Amino acid sequence: MFRQEIENPMTIDSHWNDHEKHYGIDAMGDEILEGDVIIEIDGETVLEENLEDYLIEYLGARYTLAK
């Protein structure tokens, strides 16, 4: 005889509640999730990991070494 497992409703609910909350898209097109570090520049929201790319692409920043 086969034993059929019945999913506990408490487990199912906690699975669905574990999903991260989404807070939109940053200026570089990446999802902003709960807990992400963001920077606001001139009305744009940028994820911390995209800050360097944003500065280069949108503000014309150049990175060089000091001599």
What is the model's pLDDT at position 2? 62
User: Domain limits at 43?
Assistant: 19-67
Q: How far apart are CA 41 and CA 32, in angstroms?
A: 15
pLDDT per residue rounded down to tens, the chain (67 residues): 566 666 666 655 555 565 679 999 999 999 999 999 999 999 999 999 999 999 999 999 999 999 9
What contacts 57, CB < 8 A, 6 or more positions away?
28
Q: Taking the model in full, what pTM does it have?
A: 0.67
Decide: 32 and 50 in contact? Cβ < 8 Å. Answer: no
Does a structural domain hold residue 60? yes
What is the model's pLDDT at position 16? 59
Does a structural domain hold residue 42? yes
Does a structural domain hold residue 49? yes
Does a structural domain hold residue 3? no
Does a structural domain hold residue 24? yes
Residue 39: count other Cβ atoms within 10 Å of its Cβ: 14
Tokens (6 digits) for 23: 């807070």
How many domains does one find in the chain? 1
What is the model's pLDDT at position 52? 97
- Tell me the one-letter amino acid at 10: M
